[in-house]
Structure 1
């Protein structure tokens, strides 16, 4: 539409990874393990992968080091053989939770990213893309200020 600013390429890429129903506003989580389990179950409903397999992959990645990247943001991720293209879920938590983040701050913004095991493909840099987008000035604040899932998705992806 004329007069609208162009959508950054990172935002457009994220729009292809995050389905509109893959954005969760006000999600409740009792802790890190419960959150990862919930996200794995939700992803399993949309993918041809068992939820227990997804959770195991996420926990293996967390064993290498927390995906809590600081400033209240976590980017849990895993690579999976059965996946053909990147898949993501964005969640803003109702209440921040401890996530063993590098800055020890609680997490309230979480982007689950599941990637094909093969490094090639349509979105080989999906993790870097989401990390860059969340570092852009004002994006985290816009996500925290979003009033619903559609606004949350638009704040990250540049469109509903």
Structure 2
């Protein structure tokens, strides 16, 4: 699944005041629930926190890809967040996180889930992508930049 199939402008947030890992995941869960019919913020948050308990989704270089599978999800949903200030995310390199891509997929979509995670990890491993995303200042600019870079 490509980024342009996952991401929408309402779920692209630039300069979110994060505060903590838990608070960012709570905020993301609420915003996704407002956009996705049939998904409750509590279920999303529970799924994301449950996955974090298995091990941090902070992949290094200031990036985290919190993700989970949900029975209620009808399709894959992505949310891109750029934080005002980096937060501790228990990342593998012990560096704080300022860019997050939240991914929700239907429970039965195991292969799609893994392929999408691999695509996201590859995209966020490119330093030019990280620099360009961090250089954005509006939601629309973050959205446009992410889609442009995902194609290149």
1:58-100 CA distances to partner (integer Å, 9 max, x unpaired)?
0110000000000000000000111121101101000000111
Structure 2 distance, partners of 1:137, 1:109, is: 13
Q: Secondary structure at the match of 2:9?
A: strand
Counterpart position of 2:109: 119
> How many pairs align?
148
2:30 corresponds to which of 26, 34, 41: 41
1:102 matches 2:102: no
Counterpart position of 2:65: 75
Counterpart position of 2:124: 134
1:25 corresponds to which of 11, 14, 22: 14
Structure 1 distance, partners of 2:68, 2:54, is: 11
Higher normalized helix content (fraction of residues): 2
Q: CA deviation at 1:138?
A: 0.2
1:16 matches 2:5: yes
Give the alignment's Cα RMSD to 1 decimal.
Answer: 1.8
Contact 1:86 1:126 in 2 (8 A): no
After TM superposition, the score normalised by the length of structure 2 is 0.90
Q: Which runs of no fewer than 5 residues in structure 2 stay unpaired? A: none
Structure 2 distance, partners of 1:71, 1:135, is: 8
Structure 1 distance, partners of 2:60, 2:111, is: 29
Q: Secondary structure at the match of 2:75?
A: coil
Contact 1:25 1:91 in 2 (8 A): yes
Structure 2 distance, partners of 1:122, 1:68, is: 20
CA pair 138-116 structure 1, distance change in 2 beyond 3 A: same
Give the greater-gyration-radius structure (CA): 1
Contact 1:22 1:89 in 2 (8 A): yes
Contact 2:15 2:137 in 1 (8 A): no
Q: Secondary structure at the match of 1:49?
A: coil
Q: Secondary structure at the match of 1:84?
A: coil
